[in-house]
């Protein structure tokens, strides 16, 4: 595992390597009791979960306030935090069991982050957090129009939503209306990958989000903008 990690992740310190090994062990153990991930083979976990999660790392400034919306078993937030522990990350998921797992991961790895059990639609309407984040990161949560409604309200004006995607050409067309209504612009960065097309869609929030968004829980996916 250590050789695999060092060969796959550039600039990996021994301390970060130990944390990835501990994270892998916890994932493998808890995955026998709850549904965390279908990917369990070490090489696939390292490439498809750990390395893939690091795509936004070069863009995140030290100390940035970040929300991982729909974090699941902690992707991309935990690998980002292992590589840069100065990040102030809030992990959001609507499944309590996954939030419990993440609490155990943070404790074992000696990392600090906030874990929130909430629907992103409700979290985004909470005045304590709305408009407070420098960035959001999200992977495998929803189509781009839906994901933008779940994440953009959390951002400061000028903040960026980093959306981890595969081939995004069709999704970008369907996201035009959401980008317009949420006052965002998008750029795409193709990512190096052994496992098919990977793209980082970076959406910049250019003006405050209208108070109508996010709509009530379930509506963003039922009726995408
Ligand atoms: N981001 C992780 C990854 O890349 O492996 C998890 C992906 S998993 C397919 C989607 C996760 O998003 C699930 O854990 C689910 O509970 C969460 N989720 C989906 N819709 C959500 C919402 N509206 N609010 C909060 N969490 C949500």
Considering the domain boundaries, does residue 16 fall inside one?
no
Considering the domain boundaries, does residue 210 fall inside one?
yes
Instruction: Among 48, 72, 125, 222, say which to mutate for ligand 1: greatest number of ligand atoms within 8 Å of CB.
Output: 72
CA-nearest residue, atom 5 of ligand 1: 75
Output the tens digit of pLDDT for each of the chain's 225 residues.
999 999 999 999 999 999 999 999 999 999 999 999 999 899 999 999 999 999 999 999 999 999 999 999 999 999 999 999 999 999 999 999 999 999 999 999 999 999 999 999 999 999 999 999 999 999 999 999 999 999 999 999 999 999 999 999 999 999 999 999 999 999 999 998 888 899 999 999 999 999 999 999 999 999 999
Q: How far apart are the CA of 72 and the centre of ligand 1, in A?
A: 5
Tell me how far apart the alpha carbons of residues 73 and 152 are, in angstroms, rounded to a whole number: 22
Output the pTM of the full model: 0.97
What tokens does 2 get?
């250590």
Considering the domain boundaries, does residue 22 fall inside one?
no
CA-nearest residue, atom 27 of ligand 1: 70
Ligand 1 neighbourhood includes 39 CB (under 6 angstroms):
no
Ligand 1 neighbourhood includes 140 CB (under 6 angstroms):
yes
What tokens does 85 get?
């522990």
Considering the domain boundaries, does residue 47 fall inside one?
no
- Find the Cα–Cα–Cα–Cα dihedral 57, 107, 70, 186, rounded to 10°: -20
* Cβ contact 82:19 at 8 Å: yes
Residue 127: give its domain's CATH number.
Answer: 3.40.50.150
Considering the domain boundaries, does residue 193 fall inside one?
yes
Ligand 1 neighbourhood includes 78 CB (under 6 angstroms):
no
DSSP letters, 130-187, are TT-EEEEEEESSS-HHHHHHHHGGGEEEEEEEEEEESS-HHHHHHTHHHHHHTTEEEE
Considering the domain boundaries, does residue 130 fall inside one?
yes
Describe the strand order of the beta sheet including 65-69 as a list of residue ranges: 114-117, 88-93, 65-69, 133-139, 155-165, 198-205, 184-191
| H or E segment to which residue 3 belongs | helix 2-8
- Domains in the chain, number: 1
Considering the domain boundaries, does residue 198 fall inside one?
yes
Nearest C-alpha neighbor of 129 from the set 137, 120, 141: 120
Considering the domain boundaries, does residue 28 fall inside one?
no
* Cβ contact 62:32 at 8 Å: no
Domain ranges, residue 209: 58-222
């Amino acid at each position: 595992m250590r050789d695999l990690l060092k060969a796959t992740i550039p600039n990996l310190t021994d301390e970060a390597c130990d944390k990835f090994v501990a994270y892998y062990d916890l994932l493998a153990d808890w995955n026998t009791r709850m549904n965390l991930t279908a990917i369990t083979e070490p090489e696939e976990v390292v490439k498809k979960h750990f390395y893939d999660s690091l795509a936004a790392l070069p863009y995140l400034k030290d100390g940035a306030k970040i929300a991982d919306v729909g974090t699941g078993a902690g992707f991309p937030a935990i690998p980002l935090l292992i590589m840069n522990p100065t990040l102030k990350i809030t992990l959001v998921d609507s499944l309590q069991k996954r939030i419990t797992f993440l609490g155990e991961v943070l404790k074992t790895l000696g990392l600090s982050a906030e874990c929130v059990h909430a629907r992103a639609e409700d979290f985004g309407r909470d005045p304590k957090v709305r408009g407070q984040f420098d960035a959001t990161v999200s992977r495998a949560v929803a189509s781009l129009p839906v994901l933008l409604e779940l994440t953009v309200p959390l951002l400061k004006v000028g903040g960026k939503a980093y959306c981890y995607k595969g081939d995004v050409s069709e999704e970008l067309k369907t996201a035009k209306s959401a980008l317009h209504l949420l006052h965002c612009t998008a750029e795409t960065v193709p990512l190096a990958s052994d496992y098919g097309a990977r793209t980082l869609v970076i959406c910049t929030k250019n003006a405050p989000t209208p108070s109508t968004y996010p709509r009530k829980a379930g509506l963003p996916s039922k009726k995408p903008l």
